[in-house]
Amino acid sequence: RKPLTLHGLRALQARGEKISMLTAYDATFARLCDDAGVDCLLVGDSLGMVIQGQTSTLPVTLEETVYHTRCVVRGLVGGAAWLIADLPFASYQQGPAQAMASAAALMQAGAQMVKLEGGGWTAETVRFLTERGVPVCAHLGLTPQSVHALGGYRIQGRDDASAGTLRRHATELTQAGASMMVLELMPSAVAEAVQADNPTLMTIGIGAGPATAGQVLVLHDMLGLTRGRLPRFVRNFLSGHDSAEAAVRAYVAAVKSGEFPDPVAHSYAAA
Ligand code: KIV
Ligand code: NA
């Protein structure tokens, strides 16, 4: 496989091929996912839950994210996946200058793109970063760093007013230079509208229905390793397969074919 670039990812979208993304936090799983053909890996701040056993992403620090990014980068030597790292809570909220310094730490660790949560005030920061050569993935809908303000992990954009705000934020972020956008936990129709509003934006859904340009899941969720009750948008890809690599290959195939996510079983409707 040729190493994926922003240009290469755009070419996938332009020819109607879905983009596959998974989280990765260490070298072994990064290597495995790359070998299995995953297009994009995300060093998500979900590492707070998955790796550290925290109850939210809020305690995750920039230094910890840099450490996991370095681990993943070593697993990707000679590989092809495009690497995104999350800007953790309180590493960019002060404004563009703080965001640039934090993004620099992640890029110097080997990330090729940084992701930040939220709409509205973030547009200025996205413009600042992208004008300075840092590719940005935005993240709208359920933004876990705001879990306490949102009142829990609930579906976003369910009524006309909040769906309208979400679409406006998505367009502002796209105009500010975001080339990719995670859309988390929203009615399928809202994600579909965001993609239609911004045809060249690479929307990556998680609990956002089948209309996005790509899909992302937390690796440990889709491997059936996470204990406790999982959201309905998660599918266990290990069941029916005899290795983690086979499970990840099945995920890539299901995303590419459009078989995952199911428009009913893994998706949400408006209220
Ligand atoms: O941290 C994470 O794993 C994420 C994905 C769920 C998109 O942000
Ligand atoms: Na995240």
| Ligand 2 centroid, distance to 87 Cα (angstroms) | 8
Q: Which atom, in ligand 1's list, is nearest to the CA of 117?
A: 8
- Known binding residue 86? Answer is yes
| Ligand 1 centroid, distance to 119 Cα (angstroms) | 16
| Ligand 1 centroid, distance to 115 Cα (angstroms) | 9
- Protein fold of 6-257: TIM Barrel (3.20.20)
- Known binding residue 2? Answer is no
Domain layout of the chain by residue ranges: 6-257
- Known binding residue 45? Answer is yes
Q: Which atom, in ligand 1's list, is nearest to the CA of 21?
A: 7
Active site residue 172: no
Residue-by-residue pLDDT tens, the chain, 271 positions? 999 999 999 999 999 999 999 999 999 999 999 999 999 999 999 999 999 999 999 999 999 999 999 999 999 999 999 999 999 999 999 999 999 999 999 999 999 999 999 999 999 999 999 999 999 999 999 999 999 999 999 999 999 999 999 999 999 999 999 999 999 999 999 999 999 999 999 999 999 999 999 999 999 999 999 999 999 999 999 999 999 999 999 999 999 999 999 999 999 998 7
Mutate to test the pocket of ligand 1, among 41, 86, 91, 156 (most ligand atoms within 8 A of CB): 86
d(CA 221, CA 189): 25
Segment 180-212, tens digit of pLDDT = 999 999 999 999 999 999 999 999 999 999 999
Q: Which residues line ligand 1 (CB under 6 A)?
A: 23, 42, 44-46, 86, 182, 206, 216, 218
